[in-house]
Copies of this chain bind each other. A is one copy, B any other.
Amino acid sequence: MNTKIITFGEVIMRLSPPGNRTMKQSHEMEFFFGGTELNVASSLATMGCDVRHISSVSNDFVGEAAVSFIKSFGIDTTFITKNDHPLGLYFLEVGSSVRASRIAYNRLNGSFAHIPSGQIDWKKALEGCKYFHWTGISPGISESVYNNLKEGLEIARQMGIEVTTDPAYRSNLWKYGKKGKDILKELVSYSTIFIGGVNEINELLGTQFSSDKEGFIAASKELKQQIPSIDKVFDKIRIGVTASDQQTQGRSVIKGQYFETTILEINPVVDRIGTGDAFAAGLIYGLLNFDDEKALKFANAACAIKHTILGDINYCSVEDILEVMNGNSGGRIKR
């Protein structure tokens, strides 16, 4: 249990009216701490991995509560700093069936956005680390986040650390003047494992591959062509029937070989947020413990079971995920 994994990213608070209520119908909100990279970290720590999360939180009781939450997973918080800006947050109205969920953000002036450039002693932070995980959210938040991340990636590569990335491009970020797609392409070139599919590749490369199997294989080859550091491409496909009924499938291209998992259905969906992060965490765990195909199947099962967990984070154990992977549909009570 001493494979050290490092994640870097915002700690964000989710605020959501209970159940399927709209905000106008509520006087209280449930809150959860999360953040795409922290979700990966928490899930890995729950599976027994040794994880360190790097971030910057608000210097107030909100930030304190966030750090306390992160510690509850046994995650190392030594490299989480504090500053005088508020913790990022978002509001979520949870949809159902034909009604989509809605999100309103308050993050672009938060404590993570204001993390000072050069603040992190990356050599020390990455010591003993085997995997470093980042996503396309972070560099979209602010220039100083981008600077910190880029520095970390450079040093990680120098240290020979495996770098996983979910480089999704979010158009509602990138307000600080940089071109998101250019920067993502730059940062992906420090990475070895690409967690994304045709959409993400098309966005990065400006290509127009189709979403089907052939398109995915072609896109993956083109990615390898243009960004040779990428060894493996793992994709999660979500088929959203309604807000309450979802299907997930994993597929991969590794050394030109295509592989796909069975489709898993989740109905009803308890919470869709963080399911991609559960996939990434499952994948990293799988790569550390299984072969590539089993890793992908494990990742897909982790993604599926996360849909049944409230909040951003996958609280399931390796054993729970293996059961879903092995087709146990949840119909029995475990006594």
**Which residues of A are at the interface with B, using a C-beta cutoff of 8 A?**
15, 18-32, 58, 60-62, 64-65, 68-69, 71-74, 86-87, 89, 91, 93, 95-106, 108-109, 170, 172, 239-246, 264, 266-270, 272-273, 304-305, 307-311, 315-316, 320, 323-324, 328-335
Contact = CB atoms under 8 A, between A and B. Distances in A.
Given A58-B104, A86-B105, A331-B242, A27 B31 contact: yes
Contact of A330 (B24, B93, B98, B170): B98
B315 A24 contact: yes
A80 to B, nearest CB: 12
14 contacts: A20-B309, A22-B61, A26-B27, A61-B93, A62-B104, A97-B266, A97-B267, A97-B308, A97-B330, A98-B266, A98-B324, A99-B305, A99-B316, A100-B323
Nearest to A334: B102
Contact of A98 (B26, B98, B264): B264
Contacts of A68: 24, 72-73
A96 to B, nearest CB: 4
B104 A20 contact: no
Nearest to A101: B333
Question: Which of A19, A24, A241, A269 has the most chain B CB atoms closer than 10 A to its own CB?
Answer: A24
- 9 closest A-B pairs by beta carbon, nearest first, are A240-B331, A86-B106, A72-B72, A60-B104, A243-B330, A109-B109, A99-B308, A23-B65, A96-B308
Contacts of A307: 97-98
Q: How many copies does the complex hold?
A: 6
Contacts of A89: 106
B329 A241 contact: yes
Contact of A72 (B71, B97, B269): B71
Contacts of A69: 72
Contacts of A242: 267, 329-331
Question: Which of A72, A105, A266 has the most chain B CB atoms closer than 10 A to its own CB?
Answer: A72
A329 B58 contact: no
B100 A25 contact: no
Contact of A27 (B20, B25, B60, B62): B25
Contacts of A30: 27-28
Given A23-B65, A61-B22, A332 B268 contact: no
